Amino acid sequence: MRMSQLLLRTLREDPADTDSQGYALLVRAGYVRRLSSGVYTFLPLGLKVLHRVEAIVRRELDRAGMQEMLMPALSPIELWDQSGRSARFGTDALPALTVEGRGGTYVLGPTHEEVVTATVGQEVESYRQLPVTVYQIQSKFRDEARPRYGLVRTKELVMCDAYSFDRNPEGMQVSYERAVAAYLEIFQAVGLNVTPVVAQSGAIGGDVNHEFMVPSVIGEDHFASCGSCGYHANTEAAERQIVGVSPAPSDLPERRSVATPGVATMEEVVAHFAAEGISLKEMVKAIAATNAEGDVVVIAVRGDREVRLPHGWDLVDDEALKAHPGLHKGSIGLVGLNEAGISLVVDHELVARTGPWLCGANAPDSHDEFVVVGRDAIPDAVGSFVVVEAGDACPICANPLELVRSVEAAHTFQLGLQYSTKMTGASFLDEDGTEQPLWMGCYGIGVSRLLGVLAEAHHDDKGLMWPKEVAPFDVHLVTLGANRNPALEEAGDALYSQLLREGFSVLYDDRDGSPGVKFADADLLGVPIRLVLGGKGLERGIVEWRRRRDDTEGEVALSGPFTDLR
RNA sequence: CGGGCUGUAGCGCAGCUUGGUAGCGCGCCUCGUUCGGGACGAGGAGGUCCCGGGUUCAAAUCCCGGCAGCCCGACCA
């Protein structure tokens, strides 16, 4: 590509609305332009990178035996009524965009489980057609509350979504593992350091899923990481163990209730008992929640820790709490719940450490002191119910955990029968002649988001530094002063042609610009290899090369061949 | 969805307090001189001052109402 003809305009200053270095460079270097909040145009350079990432995704998924297809972005809302997900449209849980058309309401697909289930369900009639995994690369639409970091969080995004269909859970597991392996190959190939993390505990149901996290300063999530044994988990799923437990005192005081009129918040409780040296760490935070079955449960954790609700559980709001005579806002505690018919689940720590604990007394304006779990209150279940913090002990090896800021670049789910039992036609005839629902998995990778992550991961203060597998061009050829030296212009054109013949993709800066401008643009654009042909080089019959990533440089004969530059 | 801030030339900004019809840097166009790390001189083009209403002889500026964008938080299947 001759740069003189490329639709490209580089900017010397960061645009005002950029919130990350990688995004600022993508704009300055002319890869993308924002059309509106969270909506972007890929200019020619940006599209080249996007295409290169897509090519890697296709290559790896094809190798894994998946088949590419293309579903419409637009789908009738009736399909979403079948799965029940249309009920959640407009909420943060599923910020789908819909459009009114002549045929009714259409959904601009935020994801494609419904469409693919209907499609594949229609085509598959027999177990003989299974397993099958399909994928597509397509634009998705999500009405994000807050687009951020350029291509990282957008309202319209290019995504590769894959879906596997199997005849049984074992088959689903195999398909899932194959997809995960393919994803790891993709990240390796594009040049991103990814960590698959467990995103949700298997404690509730068999929902297995993994997030593929790329550590980054623009991360919107953290995952817990153990540097010793390799344990990784999303903070919503991470657990920790309790270490260094002190032996139980021989003479634990008896529990007693204390009147605490007007004391409601944790801070007020601490202030009230300040004279006894009570801090949040000696207290119990107890909250009311409804479990997956809809029963009210009290969850108790150490006072200074954040409660982590199991998947499918919800907090009981203040209004609903009033309907439970045994529970009082501000003084929910551990004692007497069984009598009130309310289950008590406690975090490991409350059992591992003997306490005694200070907590609400399940009566208005009253708190219990010297509570010992197991003596004064018998938990119905013990588990890990706190959000993991840095320094907590790894659940496997007790090494202190780190929290790593990172971007979710891909997500894989074992869906099981979640969609196939709700959608019509998502079944097949098994070997024994019975009709069975399809066992599904789904796998999404944010292709356009990867550009944002790549730009953030590979740049310096001068510009981008694309890994060669995704770079818009292999080499960036620069001639200096060719406009006033016909021989040099000719040599530059000849060199350009030769490089193309040798199979390189070449960005040829044939513009009539000063050396400084050309060099600065080359650094900004971030093509892996820069070739410079100047007057002196022409006389000596050489062209200079310089690698963007590490600034190593050298010379090669102008006559080529240039195979060593790869 | 709460809280804060900002909308002025392609980009980055000043002007607004104290109303008098718009300016700087970069970029862009022309000519000349330059030419190995963002050159210099001269000339030039380019603006519904986010939109609507109000106050006023007069509004980028003051008032009211919208819209958009950004930041913090909440949220993120």
ipTM here: 0.93
Backbone Cα Rg of chain A: 30
Distance separating alpha carbons of residues A508 and A486, to the nearest angstrom: 16
CA of A93, C1' of B66: distance in angstroms: 29
Q: What is the pLDDT of residue A248?
A: 67
Of A325, A329, A326, which is closest to residue A268 (Cα–Cα)? A329
Distance separating alpha carbons of residues A299 and A360, to the nearest angstrom: 13
Distance separating alpha carbons of residues A176 and A178, to the nearest angstrom: 5
For strand B, list residues 497-526 of chain A whose Cβ lies within 7 Å of it: 514-517, 519-524
Q: Which helix (H) or strand (E) holds A24?
A: helix A21-28
Sheet of strand A506-509: strand arrangement: A506-509, A475-479, A529-533, A542-547, A553-557
Distance of CA A308 to the CA centre of its chain: 19
Distance separating alpha carbons of residues A135 and A444, to the nearest angstrom: 9
- At A101, is the secondary structure helix, strand, or coil? strand
Per-residue model confidence as pLDDT tens digits over A159-173 = 999 999 999 999 999
Per-residue model confidence as pLDDT tens digits over A415-462 = 999 899 999 999 999 999 999 999 999 999 999 999 999 999 999 999
Nucleotide with C1' nearest the A109 CA: B77
Decide: A452 and A150 in contact? Cβ < 8 Å: yes
For strand B, list residues 167-206 of chain A whose Cβ lies within 7 Å of it: none
For strand B, list residues 410-429 of chain A whose Cβ lies within 7 Å of it: none
Distance of CA A437 to the CA centre of its chain: 29
CATH architecture type of domain A17-191+417-455? 2-Layer Sandwich (3.30)
Distance separating alpha carbons of residues A160 and A138, to the nearest angstrom: 6
Q: What is the pLDDT of residue A251?
A: 76
Q: Which residues contact A284 (CB under 8 A, 6 or more apart)?
A: A300, A301, A302, A303, A333, A334, A350, A357, A358, A359, A360, A371
Q: Which residues of chain A have pLDDT under 70?
A: 200-207, 247-248
Nucleic strand B under 7 Å from the C-beta of A16: yes
Q: Which residues contact A530 (CB under 8 A, 6 or more apart)?
A: A475, A476, A477, A478, A522, A545, A546, A547, A548
CA of A145, C1' of B7: distance in angstroms: 21
Q: What is the pLDDT of residue A200?
A: 64
CATH architecture type of domain A256-383? Alpha-Beta Complex (3.90)
**Per-domain residue ranges of chain A:** 17-191+417-455, 256-383, 475-565
Nucleic strand B under 7 Å from the C-beta of A536: yes
CA of A36, C1' of B52: distance in angstroms: 22
What is the CATH code for A475-565? 3.40.50.800
Q: What is the DSSP letter of A512?
A: S
Which bases on strand B have an atom closer than 7 Å to a protein beta carbon? 1, 11-13, 25-27, 34-39, 68-77
pTM: predicted TM-score of the whole model, two decimal places? 0.91
Distance separating alpha carbons of residues A351 and A30, to the nearest angstrom: 58
And the tokens for A234?
């999303």
